[in-house]
Amino acid sequence: MKIPRKYAEKSFLTLLTLPIFFFIFFPILWLLSASFSTQAELFSVPIHWIPLHPTLKNYLDIFFPNQATSSVPQTFAVALINSLKISSAVTVTSIFVGSIAAYALVRIPFRLNRPIQLGIIATRMIPEVSLVLPLFIIATSLQLINKPIVLIVTYLSFALPYAIWMLIAFFGTIPVELEEAARLDGCTRLGILFRVVMPISGPGLVSTAMFTFLLAWDEFFYALIFTSTLASKTAPVAMAEFIGRYAMNTTGMMAGGILAALPPVILAFIFQRYIVSGLTAGSVKG
């Protein structure tokens, strides 16, 4: 039987996707499998791809830490909550302050409007490593080291410009006519922003919020320098802390890694249709 050309072509293309799927899923599935393993099974040779005796212990230790659990799950329990608090605070502040700033820059013509917009983009060019030292000196003299507020403020230094830049792009697409009607009804500028512009910019706000959260959640360098106590570490720092000493509780770390990856992955799946517009808007500023 002769196979139609189109069918053969499609089969060939589909065959090409297989190595890509393998490359994408092999690392992450192994991490997932290891997080359900016991330490003994993880260290076995030849390798057990799927644990023979899967266990939830690694996760339960993080969710319900007690005296008996090792320092790995205890640290992760604290670090994940720190990360959640800091990233949420950064996201809420960025959206609130960023909306006001972006709206002013889009709608109010003033002399320094353009230079300010360019200045906001230019902050992206400055590497973290050159800001961390002066910030560290300031934070130390203000006795803010190891406090969540220092990370929130520092993260805002890159998250806020990012949010403003994305929101400028979204607010710029809203027709002015919509606002004029509200203005005639006696609405103030802020009233228009909160009652007209923000409600119809739903997708823009959601996408900006997601990217801001991911930026804050992913941040490692500042957190590494600004936190030294167990109670103040974020999830990436906790991860880095334990990675060097794998004799301890490797499977606990793997479960911690999966839990640290879960919030961004879930957010990205829920808001996947906004990702591409966000990626493009976010990187144009580079």
Partner 1 sequence: MRTFVGLGNYLTMIQDQVFWDTIGRSLYFTIVSVGIELLLGLAIAQLIHSRPWGWKFLRFSLIIPWAVPTIVNGAMWRWIYNADFGALNGLLMQLGLIDHYVAWLTLPNMAMNLVILADVWHTMPFVALILQAAFATLPPELDEAAAVDGASALQRFLKIRLPLLRPAILVALIARTVDAFRVFDIVYIITNAGPANKTMTITYLTYLNSFQYGKQGIGAALSFLISFFTIIMAFIFIRFLYRPEETQ
* Cβ(139)–Cβ(71) below 8 Å: no
Q: What DSSP state is assigned to residue 145?
A: T
Minimal distance in Å, beta carbon 278 to partner 1?
Answer: 10
Distance CA 146, CA 140 (A): 10
In one letter, which amino acid is 15? L
Question: What letter would DSSP give residue 195?
Answer: I
DSSP, collapsed to helix, strand or coil, labels residue 246 as coil
Nearer to partner 1, 103 or 278 (CB): 278
Site string for partner 1, 108-127 (x = CB under 8 A): ----------------xxxx
Give residues 183-242 in contact with partner 1 (rule: CB under 8 A). Answer: 214, 217-218, 220-221, 224-225, 235-236, 239-240
Q: Which of 46, 109, 175, 186 binds partner 1 (CB under 8 A)?
A: 46
Half-sphere exposure for 261 (CA within 13 Å, toward CB) = 11
Determine, following the binding rule CB under 8 A, whether residue 21 of this chain makes contact with partner 1. yes
Amino acid letter, 175:
P
Residues in CB range of 114: below 8 A, 6 or more apart: none
Neighbours of 166 (CB within 10 A): 26
Q: Which of 2, 3, 4, 16 binds partner 1 (CB under 8 A)?
A: 16
Of the candidate residues 129, 141, 177, 199, the single one contacting partner 1 (CB under 8 A): 129
Our finding on whether 265 is near partner 1 (CB under 8 A) is yes
Which residue carries 């109670």 as its tokens?
231
Residues forming the site for partner 1 (CB under 8 A): 10, 13-14, 16-17, 20-21, 23-28, 30-31, 34, 42-47, 49, 124-130, 132-133, 214, 217-218, 220-221, 224-225, 235-236, 239-240, 243-244, 246, 250, 253-254, 257, 260-261, 264-265, 267-269, 272, 275-276, 279-280, 282-284, 286
